[in-house]
């Protein structure tokens, strides 16, 4: 048992539902008790989805506990098949069905006899995988299912598309800015003269899946979702894939060069260097931004980055390599893929943190006192409590992270967006401090930046007055250093003298 | 003309048939009952709620409770891992470790264990473990099985309060303790210190009355004052602001519920604590509040004073809102058990209700409310609604397309899709969190009910009613 207040990645079935409901005309049926269909609320609210979320529950209640689901699951599948005529129904196990150990595979087989559409059992175990891993598996499973089905029927297309083409794999519903990223990637491919063969799973029909092999290569923009499918396609059809996330100017260029080398190997003579140069220097504003004096002011400022593998690693590289910001800590909650993360970021930050305990991250932030945080909604709230600005770069997210306006994180426009995000976070912080220096909020209490605000030491009146004269952005640090000094010397009360003695002793 | 005057207009012509009850498949959307921790931990200030379940439960709480999760809530998950499921780990030891940590970090006066689907399925004997652990760590542990196998949404509170009812003390030991338990009275006489000089005379001599149901403190005060005006003294309230202030309950006390979803609590009060339950409509809307108070009065043999005028004055003050909904229809998809009371109130406002969906219908506990609903329909001259227990959301949506109601009260899963198809919706969960009880909060309910209509009438000339393509509707 684990005492938990907050989790970064959701339970496995959420991942399966994200993939299933991303496809067009695919319905998911959860084998779950009443109330577990909360996914529908999230999708309807966060994505502001106009259509009914194609997810229903085959409700597990007392009767099911006593007698097993019996015909119930089968009937629910067949009923949904008749009502909505989906191409595919994905039976989704939950934590409850994991322990009931009913033979769901058998239900699927039986339902398949009466259903017009296809029926699949999502192969995910609640206790072994989380949301992200489950999404990756489910996508792989569906791709594999339709590839094999087409092969059996002899419907697999021969050969490649006429012009160079790509499958973009891993764009899904409730993914962080996924919709905008997909648009930006399609635009980028068009600029490179590459046709988009398919984007999966978001908006795709399962009937398109048999044509995946017609693309010349696959692009997997996110580390968390799509790699299993890409690897499968590589094994089956020898399709190469690019798994460099085109986030930030440098990585986008790297991604494009990888595409170039794949195409060159397949006998197409393309040279994207002029395109990259033109985009980098003149179209995108990001490279020019890092050169401008605004960005100069950010040099050496401390930042903490935390998120999923894709976003945390890319942002860390952007901050450190493209903006000269000092990343004191980069972290991820994707514990299952920690080695990859460590390898990606270790040369761009002082410290790497692999954890899914928000308390641990909170304590690290309090200790490091960065000028800005780039994290999830949780870090945003930690930042609020500690008075540190935060830009949200990864899920878990809420409705604010589903902007209506165009906000990709990938490609050259994405680089512009990241610049704005980073710059706005830092300037807002500076503004706040300037206000304080010039007496904007002189009634404010002393800021403590520790997660636990209590201290065993008391401050005398004059000590406190002195402390309050110290500019806000260093006050917390001075306070803590002074208290540390006082504790070491055995002072119980801190007066102005002690404060200055501490300053001399430790340079606080 | 206010509604109060308009009542008897066509009482006789409406069809005299009784309410029609149906039961569907139970394929509907609602919140998991563990969501009750979100409002109960705020209500009971010295409590800590430990939900013993899986990531699924945690994910639900985290997302459903939105910003509250960041306010260092006094609730947490005891997240079960594979070792717990396969009994490789010892339940007792695990819970002891977690509860000791909670005691150390938060020092609560009570730890409430919320049993979930998983603890049910693996048959974790929470009721058996709790007393042992309680005596070992010295913190009371209350067990409530608020799981999605058996209950829906607000019924979670019912399971917690039913468990708490067992913990209410039997007798007041000392005067000092009595003083402490009298917190509500103190709250009411705040700023009026000398009032204690002549307290008892304000009340009629009646057997002690304890009310049950968790309400925000301002509403508790309002309802207590309403009863005080009639000379009825509220001796206690389950739950109180603090666990240590749970009301004394002795055999023969009178009890009354303030919410329609508290049938288990009512049963416990009657059977286990030997109390007398006052079955009344619930104090939702001015009509419900009046009927609720009148019932109390009649039980204690009191002639109610000034209630008719009070109700009329409230109706008059909300006439601007009532005008917006009079003659319109409302469809309840059903997810929180407040539906019957809400429908009865809205019918009194002049609306028609084709269907009341409801997760679970206790015809005994809600008996008075159902009778009141019938009476209201007759008085307002509208057909009796169909009450659908365990509704099927898919079928309901087909019926909504057919009926084209002016307003659908539904969960968030269906709200946006219905709006996109030009159907006004109100998110049902708001009624559980808003203050809707008593005379004073009538305007608040109507504020919620009329909001979509007011919003959409602001936009009506734009011609954007339907925002999905016809073909996408198949």
User: 3-state secondary structure string, A191-248?
Assistant: HCCCEEEEEEECCCEHHHHHHHHHCCEEECCCCCCCHHHHHHHHHHHCCCEECCCCCC
Task: Find where tokens 């609604």 sit.
Answer: B385
Q: Check residue A497 and give its pLDDT.
A: 81
The mean predicted confidence, pLDDT, of chain B is 88
CA angle A290, A295, A301 (to 5 degrees): 120
Q: Check residue A487 and give its pLDDT.
A: 82
Six token digits for residue B120? 């049910």
The SS3 of residue B59 is helix
Average of per-residue pLDDT across B20-30: 93
- CB-based contact B85 A127, cutoff 8 Å: yes
Nearest CA in chain B to A6: B62
* C-alpha span between A488 and A481 (Å, rounded): 11
Phi, psi of B428 (to 5 degrees): -65, -35
DSSP tag of B284: B
Task: Find where tokens 């002011």 sit.
Answer: A297
Instruction: Select from A32, A35, A378 the Cβ nearest to the Cβ of B30.
Output: A35
Q: Check residue B135 and give its pLDDT.
A: 95
Task: Find where tokens 């046709």 sit.
Answer: A195
- Does A453 contact B at CB distance below 8 Å? no
**Chain B contact probe: residue of A4, A29, A35 with most B CBs at under 10 A:** A35
The side-by-side arrangement of strands in the sheet containing B276-277 is: B234-238, B209-212, B254-257, B276-277
Given a cut of 60, whether residue B40 has pLDDT beyond it is yes
Question: Rounded to an integer, what is the distance from CA A161 to the centroid of its chain?
Answer: 32
Q: Is A66 exposed, middle or buried, given 0-12, 13-18 or 19+ CB atoms closer than 10 A?
A: exposed
Contacts B417 to A, Cβ<8 Å: 44, 49-52
Distance between A6 CA and the closest CA of chain B, angstroms? 7
Phi, psi of A148 (to 5 degrees): -65, -35
Residues facing residue A124 across a β-bridge: none
CA angle B226, B227, B232 (to 5 degrees): 155
- CB-based contact B30 A34, cutoff 8 Å: yes
Q: Check residue B175 and give its pLDDT.
A: 53
* C-alpha span between A82 and B66 (Å, rounded): 37
Nearest CA in chain A to B26: A59
**Chain B contact probe: residue of A15, A33, A64, A386 with most B CBs at under 10 A:** A33
Q: Check residue A450 and give its pLDDT.
A: 46
Contacts A452 to B, Cβ<8 Å: none
Average of per-residue pLDDT across B133-147: 95
Among A22-26, B91-95, B185-189, B219-223, the least confident range: B185-189
Among A176-190, B187-201, B276-290, B429-443, the least confident range: B187-201
Q: Check residue A502 and give its pLDDT.
A: 79
Q: Check residue B299 and give its pLDDT.
A: 96
Task: Find where tokens 């909001």 sit.
Answer: B451
Average of per-residue pLDDT across B195-218: 81
Radius of gyration of chain A (CA): 27
CA-wise closest residue to A278 among A252, A259, A260, A316: A252
Q: What separation in angstroms does the CA of B140 have from each of A117, B3, B112, B243? A: 54, 50, 8, 10
Q: Check residue B462 and give its pLDDT.
A: 80
Q: Check residue B11 and give its pLDDT.
A: 42
* Residue B67's pLDDT band (cuts 50, 70, 90): low
Distance between B396 CA and the closest CA of chain A, angstroms? 13
Q: What separation in angstroms does the CA of B119 have from each of A184, B101, B116, B124, B240? A: 47, 21, 5, 5, 28
- Which residues 31-50 of A have a C-beta within 8 angstroms of B? 32-38, 40-42, 44-45, 48-50
Q: What separation in angstroms does the CA of B181 have from each of A119, B234, B237? A: 60, 12, 10
Q: Where are the beta strands (DSSP E) in B242-384?
A: 254-257, 276-277, 330-332, 355-358
Given a cut of 80, whether residue B174 has pLDDT beyond it is no
Nearest CA in chain A to B74: A5
Distance between B286 CA and the closest CA of chain A, angstroms? 32
Instruction: Select from B27, B152, B468 the Cβ nearest to the Cβ of A51.
Output: B468
CB atoms within 10 A of CB A232: 18
> What does each of the 508 residues of chain A score in pLDDT, given as a tens digit?
999 888 899 999 999 999 999 999 999 999 999 989 899 999 998 888 999 999 999 999 988 888 888 789 999 999 999 999 999 999 999 999 888 888 999 999 999 999 999 999 999 999 999 999 999 999 999 999 999 999 999 999 989 999 999 999 999 999 999 999 999 999 999 999 999 999 999 999 999 999 999 999 999 999 999 999 999 999 999 999 999 999 999 999 999 999 999 999 999 999 999 999 999 998 889 999 888 887 888 888 899 999 999 999 999 999 999 999 999 999 999 999 999 999 999 999 999 999 999 889 999 999 999 999 999 998 998 898 888 999 999 988 888 889 999 999 999 999 999 999 998 888 766 676 676 666 554 444 444 444 444 566 788 888 888 887 776 667 777 788 888 888 888 888 888 888 877 777 765 4
Contacts B117 to A, Cβ<8 Å: 33, 60, 95-96
Distance between A340 CA and the closest CA of chain B, angstroms? 25
Contacts A51 to B, Cβ<8 Å: 417, 420, 468, 472
Nearest CA in chain A to B418: A50
- CB-based contact B77 A5, cutoff 8 Å: yes
Task: Find where tokens 């000028």 sit.
Answer: A371
Residues facing residue A168 across a β-bridge: A199, A219
* C-alpha span between B92 and A181 (Å, rounded): 49
Nearest CA in chain A to B57: A36
H-helix or E-strand spanning residue B219 = helix B217-229
Task: Find where tokens 């301002």 sit.
Answer: B218
Those residues whose C-beta lies under 8 Å from the C-beta of residue A407, and which sit 6 or more positions away, are A177, A180, A417
- CB-based contact A3 B101, cutoff 8 Å: yes
- CB-based contact A60 B120, cutoff 8 Å: no
Nearest CA in chain A to B55: A11
Instruction: Select from B70, B98, B152 the Cβ nearest to the Cβ of A381.
Output: B70
* C-alpha span between A372 and A128 (Å, rounded): 35
Residues of A recognised as catalytic: 294
Q: Check residue A437 and give its pLDDT.
A: 66
The SS3 of residue A91 is strand
Those residues whose C-beta lies under 8 Å from the C-beta of residue B2, and which sit 6 or more positions away, are B312, B315, B316, B319
Q: Is B384 exposed, middle or buried, given 0-12, 13-18 or 19+ CB atoms closer than 10 A?
A: buried
Instruction: Select from A11, A76, A378 the Cβ nearest to the Cβ of B54.
Output: A11
Those residues whose C-beta lies under 8 Å from the C-beta of residue B367, and which sit 6 or more positions away, are B279
* Residue B14's pLDDT band (cuts 50, 70, 90): very low
The side-by-side arrangement of strands in the sheet containing A26-32 is: A55-59, A26-32, A88-93, A118-121
Q: Check residue B470 and give its pLDDT.
A: 67
Distance between A319 CA and the closest CA of chain B, angstroms? 27
H-helix or E-strand spanning residue A307 = strand A302-307
DSSP tag of B262: -
Instruction: Select from A34, A41, A52 the Cβ nearest to the Cβ of B152.
Output: A34
The SS3 of residue B29 is coil
* pTM across the whole model: 0.87
């Amino acid at each position: 048992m684990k005492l938990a207040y907050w989790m970064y990645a959701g339970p496995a079935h959420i991942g399966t539902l994200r993939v299933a409901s991303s496809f067009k005309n695919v319905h998911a049926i959860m084998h779950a008790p009443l109330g577990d269909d909360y996914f529908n609320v999230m999708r309807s609210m966060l994505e502001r989805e106009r259509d009914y979320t194609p997810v229903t529950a085959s409700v597990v209640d007392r009767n099911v506990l006593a007698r097993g689901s019996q015909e119930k699951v089968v009937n629910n599948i067949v009923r949904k098949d008749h009502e909505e005529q989906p191409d595919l129904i994905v039976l989704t196990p939950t934590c409850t069905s994991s322990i009931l150990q009913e033979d769901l595979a058998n239900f699927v087989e039986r339902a398949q006899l009466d259903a017009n559409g296809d029926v699949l059992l999502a192969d995910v175990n609640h206790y072994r995988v989380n949301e992200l891993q489950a999404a990756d598996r489910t996508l792989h499973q569906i791709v594999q299912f339709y590839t094999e089905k087409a092969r059996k029927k002899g419907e697999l297309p021969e050969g490649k598309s006429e012009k160079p083409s790509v499958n973009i794999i891993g764009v899904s519903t409730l993914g962080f800015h996924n919709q905008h990223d997909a648009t930006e990637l399609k635009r980028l491919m068009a600029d490179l003269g590459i046709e988009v063969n398919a984007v999966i799973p978001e908006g795709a029909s399962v009937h398109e899946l048999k044509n995946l092999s017609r693309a010349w290569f696959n692009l997997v923009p996110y580390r968390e979702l799509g790699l299993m499918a890409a690897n499968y396609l590589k094994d089956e059809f020898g399709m190469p894939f690019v798994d460099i996330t085109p986030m930030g100017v440098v990585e986008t260029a790297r991604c494009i060069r990888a595409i170039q080398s794949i195409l060159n190997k397949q006998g197409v003579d393309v040279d994207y260097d002029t395109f990259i140069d033109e985009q980098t220097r003149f179209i995108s504003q990001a490279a020019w931004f890092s050169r401008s004096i605004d960005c100069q002011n950010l040099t050496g400022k401390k930042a903490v980055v935390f998120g999923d593998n894709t976003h945390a690693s890319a942002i860390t590289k952007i901050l450190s390599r493209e903006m000269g910001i000092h990343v004191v800590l980069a972290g991820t909650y994707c514990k299952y893929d920690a080695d990859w993360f460590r390898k990606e970021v270790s040369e761009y930050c002082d410290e790497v943190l692999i954890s899914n305990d928000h308390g641990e991250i909170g304590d690290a932030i309090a200790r490091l006192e960065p000028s800005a945080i780039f994290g999830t909604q949780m870090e945003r709230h930690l930042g609020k409590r500690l008075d540190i600005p935060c830009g949200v770069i990864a899920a878990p997210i809420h409705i604010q992270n589903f902007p209506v306006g165009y906000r990709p994180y990938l490609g050259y426009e994405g680089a512009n967006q990241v610049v704005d995000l980073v710059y706005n976070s830092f300037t807002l912080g500076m503004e706040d401090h300037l206000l304080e220096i010039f007496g904007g909020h002189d009634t404010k209490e002393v800021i403590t930046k520790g997660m636990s605000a209590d201290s065993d030491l008391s401050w005398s009146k004059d000590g406190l007055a002195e402390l309050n004269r110290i500019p806000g952005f260093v006050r917390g640090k001075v306070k803590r250093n002074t208290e540390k000094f006082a504790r070491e010397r055995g002072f119980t009360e801190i007066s102005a003298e002690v404060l200055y003695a501490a300053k001399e002793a430790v340079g606080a | 003309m206010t509604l109060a005057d308009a009542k008897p207009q066509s009482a006789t012509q409406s069809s005299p048939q009784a309410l029609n009850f149906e039961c569907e498949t139970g394929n509907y959307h609602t919140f998991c009952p563990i969501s009750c921790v979100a409002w109960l931990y705020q209500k009971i200030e010295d409590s800590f709620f430990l939900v013993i379940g899986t990531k699924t439960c945690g994910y639900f709480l985290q997302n459903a409770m939105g910003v509250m999760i960041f306010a260092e809530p006094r609730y947490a998950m005891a997240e079960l891992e594979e070792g717990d499921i396969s009994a490789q780990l010892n339940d007792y030891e695990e819970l002891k470790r977690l509860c000791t940590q909670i005691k150390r970090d938060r020092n609560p006066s009570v730890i409430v264990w919320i049993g979930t689907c998983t603890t049910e399925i693996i048959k974790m004997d929470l009721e058996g473990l709790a007393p042992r652990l309680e005596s070992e760590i010295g913190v009371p542990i209350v067990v409530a099985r608020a799981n999605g196998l058996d209950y829906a949404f607000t019924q979670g509170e019912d399971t917690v309060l039913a468990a708490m009812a067992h913990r209410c003390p039997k007798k007041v030991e000392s005067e000092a303790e009595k003083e402490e338990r009298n917190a509500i009275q103190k709250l009411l006489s705040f700023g009026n210190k000398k009032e204690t000089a002549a307290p008892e005379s304000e009340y009629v001599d009646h057997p002690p009355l304890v009310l049950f149901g968790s309400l925000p403190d301002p509403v508790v005060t309002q309802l207590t004052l309403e009863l005080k005006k009639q000379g009825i003294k509220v001796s206690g309230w389950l739950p109180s602001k603090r666990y240590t202030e749970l009301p004394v309950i002795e055999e023969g006390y009178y009890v009354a519920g303030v919410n329609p979803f508290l049938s288990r609590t009512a049963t416990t009060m009657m059977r286990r604590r030997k109390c007398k339950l006052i079955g009344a409509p619930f104090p939702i809307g001015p009509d419900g509040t009046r009927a609720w108070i009148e019932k109390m009065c009649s039980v204690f043999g009191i002639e109610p004073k000034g209630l008719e005028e009070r109700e009329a004055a409230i109706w008059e003050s909300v006439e601007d809102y009532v005008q917006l909904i009079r003659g319109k229809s409302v469809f309840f998809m059903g997810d929180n058990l407040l539906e019957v009371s809400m429908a009865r109130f809205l019918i009194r406002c002049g609306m028609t209700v084709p269907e009341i969906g409801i997760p679970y219908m206790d015809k005994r506990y809600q008996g008075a409310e159902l009778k009141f609903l019938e009476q209201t329909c007759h008085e307002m001259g509208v057909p009796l609604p169909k009450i659908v227990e365990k509704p099927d959301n898919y079928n309901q949506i087909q019926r909504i397309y057919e009926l084209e109601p002016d307003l659908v009260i539904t969960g968030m899963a269906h709200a946006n899709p219905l709006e996109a198809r030009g159907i006004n919706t109100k998110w049902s969960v708001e009624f559980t969190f808003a203050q809707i009880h008593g005379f004073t909060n009538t305007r608040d309910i109507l504020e919620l009910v009329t909001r979509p209509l007011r919003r959409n009438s602001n936009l009506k000339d734009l011609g954007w009613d339907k925002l999905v393509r016809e073909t996408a509707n198949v």
